[in-house]
Amino acid sequence: MRYSDLESRLLAAKESGRFKSLPKGTAGPDFQSNDVLGLAQNTDLKEYLLGRMVQENLPLGAGASRSISGNLELYAQCENALAHRTGVQAALLTASAFQANALFFSTVPARTDRIVYDKSVHASMRLAIHHSRVPSIGFTHGDWQMLEQLLNRPHAGNTYLAIESVYSMSGDVSPLNLIRALHLRYGFRLVVDEAHSIGAMGNNGEGWACTDDRQSWIFASIVGFGKALGSAGGAVLGPKTLIDLLSGTGKAFIYSTGIQPLSALQVSTLMQEPHWIQQGQSKLESNLKCLGTPTQPDKAGWIRFYITKPKPEWEHQFGLKYLSPPTVELGAEGYRCMVHAHNTPAEMNTLKTLLIS
């Protein structure tokens, strides 16, 4: 069989720099992964979770979608733990944060509504918004004046505002008080992608949006377990009516096999026993202090992006990957460096020397 059409598209992707090749393993210290609290490789946590899997005779997989026979009791336990820890009415587990975004935007906003979104939100959110076929418009990242101008435009339906709590490339933290004030003024339904803040922010890993009044101004949070929580999967958090709508009518949920039980067990454990998270946060904070640069209040200190020309020594010593368009904007090429709880003092000192040289 001939696949000339696919070959030409593949060639075009490679020539334009859009093709992503898979690495053949990584050498040296970890300054790339999103496992910022080191929970994915925490030996004690691993032994504890695997022990419970065996003792409680938990399956390796759900075996079916949750609407058929795959609705394990463990899932409800995890969802309740998530909701309790983050201060929302309900939660719904998904196979990934990508699926959570697809589920939400394909199910909730109606064609008579509109979606206003930060152009720098994660690709999974942008794609979900695009495929929703709901009228949408993006605003330049951090341009709050532009956002307010868009919100000021009259619209008969509901307005959904989609942002991230922590932006994965720049480490920018959305200004919580400003967003809350805008909500008070315009009454939009706020949807926050909290993939990079759940676990990493809050005294117990509650995330960016865990405030006493969150239910009055945050409509939904999209969370991912593959970052600070060191697992896999995701969830949608919000009012019970929203969660019931998603679980009862959302095709991306109804026709998907339940999340891996081990992931649900891990997240449930971390939400109910946050000392695992607190230990990781403490170690991460110590490593950030090693860099000697104060953390800015509007930045997530563990995400560092350095705009620079290619530096082979950075790639050789730390395996950092040079990022160029379309991953980043033209003129903003550089390296994304992640600091972790499991980085050793020696690694941190070497990194500090390398980055300031």
Q: Provide the token pair at 195.
A: 């993939």
Residue 225: per-residue pLDDT: 98
Pairing of strands 234-238, 90-94: antiparallel
Q: What is the pLDDT of residues 158-202, one digit of tens each?
A: 999 999 999 999 999 999 999 999 999 999 999 999 999 999 999
CA torsion through residues 48, 50, 56, 62, sign: positive
In the chain, what percentage of residues exceed pLDDT 90? 82
Give the torsion sign (CA, 338, 269, 202, 218).
positive
**What amino acid is encoded at 218 in this protein?**
I
Q: Which residue has the higher pLDDT, 320 or 47?
A: 47
Q: What is the mean pLDDT of residues 231-236?
A: 98
Closest Cα partner for 197 from 222, 161, 180?
222
Q: Are 124 and 267 in contact (CB under 8 A)?
A: no
pLDDT exceeds cutoff 70 at 356: no
Question: Is residue 178 classed as helix, strand or coil in its secondary structure?
Answer: helix
For residue 296, the model assigns a pLDDT of 80
**Angle in degrees, CA 317, 321, 322, rounded to 5:** 115
Tokens of 102: 């697809």
pTM score of the predicted model = 0.94
| Average pLDDT over every residue of 289-303 | 85
DSSP 9: H
Domain ranges of the chain: 27-42+275-356, 58-272
**CA contacts within 13 A on the Cβ side of 89:** 12
The architecture in CATH of the region 27-42+275-356 reads Alpha-Beta Complex (3.90)
Give the mean pLDDT of the chain.
94
What pLDDT score does 300 carry?
95
Q: Kindly state the tokens that stand for 32.
A: 């790339």
Find the mean pLDDT for residues 300-321: 89
Read off the pLDDT of each residue in 253-257 and give the average, rounded to a whole number.
Answer: 96
pLDDT (tens digit per residue) in 120-157: 999 999 999 999 999 999 999 999 999 999 999 999 99
**Interval 49-108: pLDDT, tens:** 999 999 999 999 999 999 999 999 999 999 999 999 999 999 999 999 999 999 999 999
When pLDDT is averaged across residues 220-225 and rounded to a whole number, the result is 98
User: What does the pLDDT read at residue 357?
Assistant: 58
- Reading the block at residue 14, the tokens are 């490679």
Could you count the other beta carbons within 10 Å of the beta carbon of residue 59? 14
Q: Give the architecture (CATH level 2) of 58-272.
A: 3-Layer(aba) Sandwich (3.40)
pLDDT of res. 27: 66
CA distance 278 to 76: 24
Name the CA dihedral angle for 76, 95, 236, 37, rounded to a multiple of 10 degrees: 90
Asked, colleague to colleague, whether 27-42+275-356 and 58-272 share their fold, the answer is no
Rounded Cα gap, residues 17 and 13, in angstroms? 6
Q: Is the sign of the CA dihedral 269, 274, 279, 282 positive or negative?
A: positive
Residue 109 burial (10 A CB sphere; 0-12, 13-18, 19+): buried
Residue 28 has pLDDT above 80, yes or no: no
Share of the chain above pLDDT 70, in %: 98
From 249-258, 261-270, 320-329, 336-345, the region with the lowest mean pLDDT: 320-329
Going through the chain in order, the beta strands assigned E by DSSP cover: 90-94, 114-118, 136-139, 159-164, 189-193, 220-224, 234-238, 303-307, 322-323, 334-338
Cβ-proximal residues to 50 (8 Å cutoff; 6+ apart), any chain: none
